[in-house]
Amino acid sequence: MRYDIQGAPYPVAEVHLANGESVICQSGAMVWQDTNIEMQTTTNGGFGKVLGRLVTGESLFQNTYTAKAGSGSITFGSSLPGEIKAFELCPGDVIIAQKSAFLASDPTVNFELYFQKRISSGFFGGEGFIMQKFTGAGTLLIEVDGSTIQKVISPGESILIDTGYLVATEGECNIEVETIKGVANVLMGGEGLFNTKVTAPKSNSVRIWLQTMPLSHMAAAIARFIPRTN
């Protein structure tokens, strides 16, 4: 599967398929395609996978597009202003992403639920107690709110992130919540009550990816300009 990501701030990913090659996508992601690309809608797995997509906010169904009688291309669009981030997974690689991040992938990429070890991280950290775990081999495309910033955390080191800005981690980092200290900081600092603390394993450094405009922050900014009605 080859792809080209273009367009901003509403990007699209044009996927080029060889004859007989397929790509899986989130329901409703397709924006245009060649006429020889055939679609099949399925649950793409048993009850466990269906439940997993349900609790992470994804559609219960996924679409599989396959090139027939020759090569062809299909284009997937982002649902919000931001970026489409591509990962090339090899066997043994793990990507943990925020829920509802999935856009499209090779059929050889596996999806499963990922539960943060500390429930408080989900209740207060903004990234959600339930996240998405991707493994296998192939191309994975996810949606990012705003722009993508990559950081590298050294073994055993941590980084504090404001609520909602963490989009994905490489491998299984430790994610927990820290309360902002000081009454004045909480009341007048404008940063809320909590930060998300991400710590790399002691054995190796990891990459993490941040997003510059979480959907929740965008919604709050827009809400200030919407007239209130009694």
pLDDT by residue for the chain (230 residues), tens only, comes to 899 999 988 999 999 999 999 999 988 899 999 999 999 988 766 545 555 555 555 566 789 999 999 999 999 999 888 999 999 999 999 999 988 899 999 999 998 888 765 554 444 444 456 788 999 999 999 999 999 999 999 999 999 998 789 999 999 888 887 776 644 444 444 455 678 889 999 999 999 999 999 887 777 778 888 887 76
Q: Residue 148 contacts by C-beta under 8 Å, 6 or more apart in sequence? A: 83, 85, 167, 209, 210, 211, 212
CATH number at residue 75: 3.60.160.10
Does some domain include residue 230?
A: no
Torsions phi, psi of 36, nearest 5? -90, 10
Does some domain include residue 52?
A: yes
* Residue 196, number of CB atoms within 10 A of its CB: 22
Is 218 strand, coil or helix? helix
Q: What gap in Å lies between CA 177 and CA 202, rounded to an integer?
A: 19
pTM for the model: 0.83
Does some domain include residue 228?
A: no
Task: Decide: 14 and 75 in contact? Cβ < 8 Å.
Answer: yes
Does some domain include residue 192?
A: yes
Task: Decide: 132 and 97 in contact? Cβ < 8 Å.
Answer: yes
pLDDT score, position 189: 43
Of the candidates 199, 112, 177, 97, the one whose C-alpha atom is nearest the C-alpha of residue 144 is: 97
**Domain interval for residue 206:** 2-223
* Alpha-carbon separation of residue 43 from 40, 50, 60, 74, 118 (angstroms): 10, 6, 6, 21, 30
Q: What are 169's strand-pairing partners?
A: 96, 208
Task: Decide: 99 and 53 in contact? Cβ < 8 Å.
Answer: no
Task: Decide: 162 and 195 in contact? Cβ < 8 Å.
Answer: yes
Of the candidates 57, 78, 89, 113, the one whose C-alpha atom is nearest the C-alpha of residue 213 is: 78
pLDDT score, position 58: 57
pLDDT score, position 56: 53
Does some domain include residue 229?
A: no
Number of structural domains (the chain) is: 1
Does some domain include residue 147?
A: yes
Q: Which two tokens stand for residue 2?
A: 């080859």
Does some domain include residue 210?
A: yes
